[in-house]
Amino acid sequence: MISSRFATPAAALLAFVLLPSAVAAQAGLVMEDGQAQIVPAFADSSAWIRHELWVETEFDSDGDGRPDRVHLDVTRPAQTDSEGMRVPVIYETSPYYSGVAGIDFAHFWDLRQEVGGEAPPRDPFPATIQHIESQPRISNSHVATWVPRGFAVVHSQSPGTGQSQGCPTVGGANESLAPKAVIDWLNGRARGFTSVDGDEEVDAYWATGRVGMTGTSYNGTLPLAAATTGVEGLEAIIPIAPNTSYYHYYRSNGLVRSPGGYPGEDIDVLFDFIFSGFPEVRDYCLANVRDEMTARLDRATGDYNDFWAGRDYLNQVDGVSAATLMSHAFNDWNVMPEHSYRISEALGERGVPLQIYYHQGGHGGAPPLELMNRWFTRYVVGVENGVEEDPAAWIVREGDDRAEPTPYPSYPHPEADGVTLRPGGDGHWTGTLSLDDAGAGTGAIIDNFAFTGDQLAAAEWSSHRLLYATPELREDVHLSGVATVRVRMSADAPAANLSVWLVSLPWTESGEINDNIITKGWADPANAGAEDIASPRTGTPLAPGAFVDLEFALQPDDQIISAGARIGLMIFSSDKFFTLHPDPGTTLTVDLGETRIALPVVGGSAALRRALGVPASE
């Protein structure tokens, strides 16, 4: 029997499970420690049944007057035919399976734009993705993991990609309804066909109708999109680094912001990147979808609007009932960890079965197979393995193997409490960051996008940033949750970028993941008075010299800052790899007496005071 570190004692079971079937089942799934095990009878890949089909959807996104059909492939154990066995399904859908356009920054948006000004026109991608006419095998992802355990694996191509009809909408309704149609087909509620335009039907007689979805990045977004429809049969999802709001992917608190690694990307660029569908609908899709994106994305103000609201899954989360195991990285500066955090909070409030797995790496990173197996076994197969009693959060500590996460009762750590620190002194050098009021005073920042955040944090002195740091920590400090910053500032221009980094000092040379970066955040000062600064509808130009107050969250984190380090707050304007690049020279003035940051410290004020050597407050 396998010993599982994720299993509760009550879940350490061995069972032979016969799946329900309209005919007598001759084979079943084998369970140990609450997980589906490899069964030799299912593991013979030469006997697996593979086929493709097209499922008819309930939408017509390419304007041809007929419901779009989406292309999918199926891989299932031979016993589904030879022995009448019915099996659960692991399902992944993607816009990437038939190729993507290459990364060509010449066709991204030009970052040389004034904040609040009109964006220079973008030169769209040429039709560089060669359409593939036939692709019977869409993907092999998950096949070797789940088919030997007695599941079928299904892949489908998103609308407007590969052999699926329709137009890509990048978060539009058809991206939610397409996987819904596949799940409906698996449950006998939608029609499948052997060809894209034929009338020979095919059904899923081999499926139990119970489905689990997973995938990473865009492929991790789509399980959540499908779940928002409330489709019956989608029992569990495991989104990995999902984008849960295209607004939050391309904007931060009203500020136009690029995803990390892709400066100048916006939603219409992503359309060009994935559109590999049928050539005959290309002109329609460009005119009716891509051009509408360009018209409505608003790179001038960066504000939230109905276009973005329709691509924010938080607005549709009431439809989600599928048990959700979320996975994300704290150092993912592409799809930032707020994406999983915001949805997890909402699902928890609604009582949806929920776990979250966070690690310290970059973009992507699935939970350990044991976690995924227990999740799918419980909710897709229906085996009572006690997963509901497992810890709600699994956090990979610094330096630990990703397969060895630390369990938390919840995330943020339940012992975390906000502790306020205030800046003082000359931030052109390195000022102070302390628990006590640092007194009045101001600090000035001269904007210049040519300097990277790393360069500014490493500089001994700079007029382009303000940096404030605690004394050296006498013991480790554990941060868990969301830091919130409040900045009182003015500018000598009607608009400006505002960037905030929380860092660990002394600064060291960065690698792929810079351990000096604790967390980051960005905001548009023009949205200082917004009712919801995270999704602001309107902004107000800054009056030169007039102070405004901004309060906003930085990205979620869980990190142990080692003894001997200093915790630093860096405030600057343009962030070279994330924000627009206005002409240098705008001056921002920060009122230090009204600026502060609240850190989520495990152990609260007492723990931070001990680490700083400050006597306990009376």
Residue numbers annotated as active site = 217, 332, 363
Of 533, 539, 528, 545, residue with least CA distance to 586: 545
* Side chain identity at residue 465, one-letter code: R
Which ranges in 449-563 belong to alpha helices (H)? 453-458
C-alpha 202/C-alpha 221 separation (Å) is 28
What's the token pair of residue 615? 């006597």
- Please report the DSSP string for 404-452 in residue order: SPEEESSSS-TTEEEEEEEEES-TTS-EEEESS---S-EEEEE--TTS-
C-alpha 582/C-alpha 188 separation (Å) is 56
Strand partners, 193: 54, 201
Q: Where is 372: in which H helix or E strand?
A: helix 369-376
Of 270, 165, 183, 169, residue with least CA distance to 223: 183
- Would you say how long the chain is, in residues? 618
Are the beta carbons of 456 and 530 closer than 8 angstroms?
no
C-alpha 547/C-alpha 491 separation (Å) is 8
Beta carbons within 10 angstroms of residue 441's beta carbon: 15
Sign of CA dihedral 344, 349, 355, 356: positive
Q: At which residue do the structure tokens 């029992």 appear?
A: 235
Task: Collect all residues with Cβ–Cβ distance below 8 Å to 337 and sequence separation of at least 6.
Answer: 328, 329, 330, 358, 555, 556, 557
Q: What is the 3-state secondary structure (H, E, C) of 255-303?
A: EEECCCCCCCCCHHHHHHHHCCCCHHHHHHHHHHHHHHHHHHCCCCCCC
Of 355, 281, 373, residue with least CA distance to 88: 373
Beta carbons within 10 angstroms of residue 613's beta carbon: 11
Q: Where is 611: in which H helix or E strand?
A: helix 604-612
Strand ranges inside 170-216, DSSP E: 192-193, 201-202, 207-216
C-alpha 606/C-alpha 617 separation (Å) is 8
What's the token pair of residue 515? 């351990």
C-alpha 14/C-alpha 35 separation (Å) is 9
Are the beta carbons of 612 and 602 closer than 8 angstroms?
no
C-alpha 202/C-alpha 195 separation (Å) is 10
C-alpha 212/C-alpha 208 separation (Å) is 12
Are the beta carbons of 128 and 136 closer than 8 angstroms?
no
